[in-house]
Structure 1
Amino acid sequence: MTTVRTRFAPSPTGFLHIGGARTALFSWAFARHHGGQFVLRIEDTDVARSTPEAVQAILDGMNWLELGHDEGPFYQMQRMDRYKAVIAEMLAAGTAYYCYTQPDELEAIREAQRARGEKPRYDGRWRPEAGKTLPAVPAGVQPVIRFKNPLDGVVAWDDLVKGRIEIANAEMDDLIIARADGTPTYNFCVVVDDWDMRISHVIRGDDHVNNTPRQINILKALGAVVPQYAHLSMILGDDGTKLSKRHGAVSVMQYHEEGYLKEAVINYLARLGWSHGDDEVFSREQFVEWFDLDHITPSAAQFNTEKLKWLNAHYIKQTAPEVLAADIAQRLAQRGVSVAGGPDLAAVIALYRDRASTLVEIADAAAPYYAALQISDELAAQHLTDVARDALAALAGRLQSASWDKAALSAAIKETCTEKGLKMPQLAIPLRVKLLGVTQTPSIDAVLEVFGREAVLQRLG
């Protein structure tokens, strides 16, 4: 049986976005499911747009999602000698040829074809054929190199997502595989890479479907094994249009910044166009065990931010506060808030974990426990009235000697309400404002317990 070898081959012209991350996840999971290898390749031949920062952003996104590669990263710009050697072999074999047609000449050919109602394309005037006389080589013109595409028959493959696809060779002209300056083109580099790296399954977005017949023909001309192809449908935004920057996060790392757990993002990406029965929540390990290409839908997947938030809330609830504490401490530190000397961070997180859908929400809730108290004039005027201040002073007196557990703290609050003739909210809300500068918190006795006697009395003082 052929060893399964998949690859993820992003172009470093931007971040690792959701669509790319899903492609990487499916390629990684397919290799892991079959005990194969997952190869990372950086397709950086677009020198004008490729940047080291974009490469690092892709690697950071892969690392955060823990989509570890077995080989690579391989960089196409470091493989130029190999591409040029293969082109030389193709020229010698007659499967490629020099073409001296200039861009303005090519445009004139296409204009004439359009005028005749024909599909605009290169007309093959430099294509060598038996008995054909080629034009005279123009002086001082650097030629491109074109692939000699078959003229007859069809190129076909059984797409593992879309089913049987057939394209007539007559529909395709002779693809440029090297530019006039000698640099090989994208479609050619991909073919040589997939061949050299022994890729068995190419899992990629369906924006590449039109490239596939050309790549298959070049692979066949090289005598290479043609991999199996699986083209994933696009991802639509919440509004049903093509996913774009205006739909929110442009990078998977932005989901990290916005407080999403990698487990939630992986689980959510897995369900974008793939399913295992009605299962919605599952671990990375379960996904690898279940994953196949048979259950990928050929129709577009729709991104649903609320669904992702729901999943994230689920994973936050399932994660121990002690595990979340390192992340929350870092988020607070980025705001200039230190947790040193404050209440136990895991205990604070435990108060909010079940009501938060992102880690940012937990950090927002935790910050007042450690930062200098800030009470808005509006809240002070509304809630810290003379009556409220009198009741808070009485409560502070009780808290001096109360046992520091929820039951005793709850009793102290109730006794103070009874003494001052107040209902619970008339004391609890001013107490929240005085402690944290907010009107809503989890159970106030639990907040007091976590805060600790010294900090509570200091803020009530």
Structure 2
Amino acid sequence: MSKQVRVRFAPSPTGPLHIGGVRTALFNYLFAKKNGGTFFLRIEDTDQNRFVPGAEAYIMEALEWLGIAPDETIGKNEKFGPYKQSERKHLYQEYADQLINSGWAYYAFDTADALDAHRKEHEENGKTFIYNHHNREKLDTSLVLSTEETAKRIANGDAYVIRFKTPVDETLHLQDIIRGDVKFDTNLLDDKVLFKSDGMPTYHLANIVDDHLMETSHVIRGEEWLPSMPLHVLLYRAFGWEAPEFAHLPLILKPIGNGKLSKRDGDKLGFPVFPLEWKTDEGTSSGYKENGFFPEAVINFLAMLGWNDGTDKELYSLDELIASFDLNRVHKAGAKFDPDKNKWFNHQYLVQAADADLAIAYSPILEEKGIEVNQEKLTKIVSLIKERAHFVTEFWEMSDFFFVAPTEYDAKAKKNWKEETPLLMQQLIVVLESIEDFSSMNIETIVKEWMTVNEIVMGKVMQPFRLSLVGALKGPHLFDIVEVIGKDETIARINKAISIL
């Protein structure tokens, strides 16, 4: 790649960062790192009406948690700062004026009421009103006013916007890294507003100016921005600047049916769509972090939504993703979000995690329940249950019997407690009392020898034995449970089961 790679993630602080936005940030990050480039974060807050307090900090915290923090952003390596558009608004007027002076833009003084009237008139005639070459010289614009009249109206404080003057009768053949040649007819484009009389640019002007001044080499963004591509390329042409390369990522689709994944889908099906929890006066939206997901698992899962390296490999570390990532292998079609696959990825990372680390993560849950246990024992317990878990938050349900003796016994499992069971359990207690090396393997060997010598059917002992210790026919290897809870507790639980059952 000949030019220095500089890519950006440029969200608006209008609320929590959606998982689709995270995927866009991730692909920018991977592309930058793969090509020895820079990944920077710019906050696009020109629309102050939609600004939500706390959203900016949330975006930064989310990227940090996910391990894809930007190289440059607000307060960090501000080589091309400011990195917040509201602090750059003094720049945009100059560029809007430049477009006016070069004939690429014009002033429009149309009121909202006048434009509504035009729309209604078109609707009544079965047409759609588009503000472009068809009518721009029939409306209230500087294209029909004299220079003096235009200047007078601006001086008088008349409200205006600056619109882009879209070329006529041109077919644009634009190259997209993911989609190839994309064709647009300029006659079908509207003359977008670039600048408002309140001194604030619209997204389109600010985005282009900032990408140029910040030396953005590639614009990697969601598919929903594809219709803006012709305007943006034309703006680069109007300024006489070299345009960056474009890549429009496929949408993340709903788990069932078509359509873009939304928060409502997450609420309905019980999975998060935000990386971190988001609280408002209306309520709390859950986050991946608070739901027990590993950030590495979230990153791995998102990377596979719309991209693969051409193999069947699914599990990648961040370094492996960087090494393998290629925009040319991003799919055009939308990627369906699969909540079960999402959990599967987390399970893979949970199983790979060190038992001691998982024990540390489990400890606060036990502390809340008033249970104290040494880390060595807890690490052993974790090693026995983690293969069946997707999240650390599921550990208690899978291991409560290690810490608390059962007070109730599963109704279906009680069918295994027969008339002869109490006598067998009392005989088992005698066997257990005689064992000095109370390790899982040794206990199992001695108990099974006892059953073999006495010709006792396995099910007559093992199922009531498990029911006594666990309260149900669940849990890891029975003799591993016996070793962890110890001889005295094991015997006490069998005696309790005999007395109750």
Please state which band the TM-score falls in when normalised by the shorter chain: 0.7 to 0.9
Match of 2:4 in 1: 3
* Amino acid of the structure 2 residue aligned with 1:236: L
Indicate whether 1:250 and 2:273 are aligned.
Answer: yes
Distance in structure 1 (CA, Å) of the matches to 2:492 and 2:88:
66
Indicate whether 1:64 and 2:79 are aligned.
Answer: no
- The offset of 1:196, in angstroms, is 2.0
Q: CA separation of 1:208/1:322 partners in 2, compared to 1, >3 Å: closer, same or farther?
A: same
Distance in structure 2 (CA, Å) of the matches to 1:250 and 1:204:
18
Match of 1:272 in 2: 305
Contact 1:202 1:229 in 2 (8 A): yes
* Amino acid of the structure 2 residue aligned with 1:153: E
Q: CA separation of 1:174/1:6 partners in 2, compared to 1, >3 Å: closer, same or farther?
A: same
Which residue of 462, 469, 480 maps to 1:428? 462
- The offset of 1:360, in angstroms, is 3.4
Q: Which moved more, 1:288-297 or 1:237-246?
A: 237-246
Q: CA separation of 1:451/1:49 partners in 2, compared to 1, >3 Å: closer, same or farther?
A: farther
Distance in structure 2 (CA, Å) of the matches to 1:155 and 1:185:
23
* Amino acid of the structure 1 residue aligned with 2:181: R
* Amino acid of the structure 2 residue aligned with 1:83: Y
Which residue of 323, 336, 344 maps to 1:302? 336
Contact 2:110 2:141 in 1 (8 A): no
Match of 1:165 in 2: 182
Distance in structure 1 (CA, Å) of the matches to 2:312 and 2:371:
41
Which residue of 295, 298, 302 maps to 1:262? 295
Contact 2:405 2:493 in 1 (8 A): no
Distance in structure 1 (CA, Å) of the matches to 2:460 and 2:11:
59
Match of 1:329 in 2: 363
Contact 1:343 1:450 in 2 (8 A): no
Distance in structure 1 (CA, Å) of the matches to 2:145 and 2:111:
24
Which residue of 344, 350, 357 maps to 1:316? 350
Contact 2:107 2:142 in 1 (8 A): no
Q: CA separation of 1:371/1:156 partners in 2, compared to 1, >3 Å: closer, same or farther?
A: farther
- The offset of 1:129, in angstroms, is 4.2
Q: Which moved more, 1:371-380 or 1:150-159?
A: 371-380
Distance in structure 2 (CA, Å) of the matches to 1:419 and 1:342:
39
Indicate whether 1:229 and 2:263 are aligned.
Answer: no
Q: Which moved more, 1:368-377 or 1:154-163?
A: 368-377
Contact 2:14 2:52 in 1 (8 A): yes
Match of 1:77 in 2: 86
Q: Which moved more, 1:337-346 or 1:290-299?
A: 337-346
Match of 1:12 in 2: 13
- The offset of 1:170, in angstroms, is 2.5
- The offset of 1:227, in angstroms, is 1.0
- The offset of 1:237, in angstroms, is 2.6
- The offset of 1:411, in angstroms, is 3.8
Contact 1:39 1:71 in 2 (8 A): yes
Contact 2:409 2:467 in 1 (8 A): no
SS in 1 for 2:48: coil
Gaps of 5+ in 1: none
Which residue of 90, 112, 135 maps to 1:103? 112
SS in 1 for 2:288: helix
* Amino acid of the structure 2 residue aligned with 1:359: V
Contact 1:91 1:97 in 2 (8 A): yes
- The offset of 1:445, in angstroms, is 0.4
Contact 2:41 2:73 in 1 (8 A): yes
Indicate whether 1:196 and 2:230 are aligned.
Answer: no
Distance in structure 2 (CA, Å) of the matches to 1:57 and 1:376:
46
SS in 2 for 1:3: coil
Contact 1:271 1:280 in 2 (8 A): no
Scaled by the length of structure 1, the TM-score of the pair is 0.86
Q: CA separation of 1:160/1:128 partners in 2, compared to 1, >3 Å: closer, same or farther?
A: same
Distance in structure 2 (CA, Å) of the matches to 1:130 and 1:111:
23
* Amino acid of the structure 2 residue aligned with 1:347: K
Distance in structure 1 (CA, Å) of the matches to 2:91 and 2:370:
53
* Amino acid of the structure 2 residue aligned with 1:222: F
Indicate whether 1:174 and 2:230 are aligned.
Answer: no
* Amino acid of the structure 2 residue aligned with 1:244: S
Match of 2:163 in 1: 146
Distance in structure 2 (CA, Å) of the matches to 1:178 and 1:390:
89
Which residue of 247, 266, 284 maps to 2:318? 284
- The offset of 1:204, in angstroms, is 1.0
- The offset of 1:23, in angstroms, is 1.2
* Amino acid of the structure 1 residue aligned with 2:432: L
Distance in structure 1 (CA, Å) of the matches to 2:310 and 2:418:
58
Distance in structure 2 (CA, Å) of the matches to 1:81 and 1:390:
89
SS in 2 for 1:308: helix
Q: CA separation of 1:91/1:22 partners in 2, compared to 1, >3 Å: closer, same or farther?
A: same
Distance in structure 2 (CA, Å) of the matches to 1:263 and 1:324:
15
The superposition leaves residues 278-316 of structure 1 with CA deviations (integer Å, 9 ceiling, x where unpaired) of 232233222211211111111121222333343333333
Q: Which moved more, 1:342-351 or 1:436-445?
A: 342-351
SS in 2 for 1:255: coil
Match of 1:238 in 2: 255
- The offset of 1:30, in angstroms, is 0.5
- The offset of 1:78, in angstroms, is 2.7
Distance in structure 2 (CA, Å) of the matches to 1:159 and 1:269:
22
Contact 2:399 2:475 in 1 (8 A): no
Gaps of 5+ in 2: 75-82, 277-286, 496-501
- The offset of 1:214, in angstroms, is 1.6
Counterparts of residues 78-93 of structure 1 (less than 5 Å):
78-91=87-100
Match of 1:347 in 2: 380
Q: Which moved more, 1:184-193 or 1:97-106?
A: 184-193
The superposition leaves residues 380-420 of structure 1 with CA deviations (integer Å, 9 ceiling, x where unpaired) of 96677886555555544543452121122214544676799
Q: CA separation of 1:91/1:392 partners in 2, compared to 1, >3 Å: closer, same or farther?
A: farther
Q: CA separation of 1:436/1:163 partners in 2, compared to 1, >3 Å: closer, same or farther?
A: same
- The offset of 1:105, in angstroms, is 0.2
Contact 1:429 1:440 in 2 (8 A): no
Contact 1:32 1:288 in 2 (8 A): yes
Distance in structure 2 (CA, Å) of the matches to 1:371 and 1:41:
52
Indicate whether 1:408 and 2:442 are aligned.
Answer: yes
SS in 1 for 2:273: coil
Q: CA separation of 1:131/1:407 partners in 2, compared to 1, >3 Å: closer, same or farther?
A: closer
Match of 1:366 in 2: 399
May I ask how many residue pairs the two structures share in their alignment?
460
